Amino acid sequence: MFILTMTFLGIIIFILETVVIEFFAIGGVKPDFILIIAIYSGLFLNKNIAAGIGFTFGLIQDALSFKLMGINSLSKCLIGFSIGSLREKILSENLLVQYLFTFIATFLNGVIFLFILKGLLLMEIKVLNFLWSLLIQGIYNSLLAPPIFLLLNRIKRLYYKKPVFYKL
């Protein structure tokens, strides 16, 4: 049942990301829900599960884009795992921590993107414009992350009594 819920949630997130959220783009910049999910997994679940979720959702995100296969799966897997590794040393429930980690993770995700697109794919990208977009996305993601974390934690609590979740 938990897997079904998560699959259903995943589909909703991708529909949000590819259909609905386009209408809420600010200057062409839209929030990255998949990144928020990867950050959530790192902050509240096991680091290996966080890496797995980041990889899977990133891979789907790549497949729905063009010629970017591997970029999102790599960055989201890395972000999920990195935050997951720090989980025991931080207060995940703290709002400030959530804002900060979302902003830093957005920046890290963007830098990985920039490095691959510009350094490896040799795409012409104006770095200043890109960083400006990243700043907007960082703020956008940071504002959206806490309510999404709250929602996901509510869903998590529904299954909390089951033994499998004690491991997460």
List of residues contacting other proteins (CB under 8 A)? 11, 14-15, 17-20, 22, 25, 27-30, 32, 34, 47-48, 51-52, 55, 58-74, 77-78, 81, 113, 116-117, 120-121, 123-126, 129, 137
Q: What are phi and psi of 106, to 5 degrees?
A: -60, -45
| Smallest distance from other proteins to CB 73, Å | 4
User: Of 40 and 57, which CB lies nearer to other proteins in the complex structure?
Assistant: 57
User: Of 14 and 159, which CB lies nearer to other proteins in the complex structure?
Assistant: 14
- Identify any residues that bridge with 29 across adjacent strands, giving them in sequence order: 26
Residues ≥6 apart with Cβ < 8 Å to 95: 146
| Smallest distance from other proteins to CB 61, Å | 5
| Spatial separation of the C-alpha atoms in residues 77 and 112, rounded to whole Å | 12
Contact 29, 110 (CB under 8 A): no
| Smallest distance from other proteins to CB 69, Å | 4
User: Of 124 and 161, which CB lies nearer to other proteins in the complex structure?
Assistant: 124
| Smallest distance from other proteins to CB 18, Å | 4
| Smallest distance from other proteins to CB 110, Å | 8
Q: What are phi and psi of 119, to 5 degrees?
A: -80, -40
User: Smallest Cα–Cα separation from 40: which of 158, 137, 156, 139?
Assistant: 156
Q: What's 18's DSSP letter?
A: I
Q: What's 68's DSSP letter?
A: -
User: Of 48 and 94, which CB lies nearer to other proteins in the complex structure?
Assistant: 48
User: Of 86 and 116, which CB lies nearer to other proteins in the complex structure?
Assistant: 116
Helix (H, G, I), strand (E, B) or coil at 159: coil
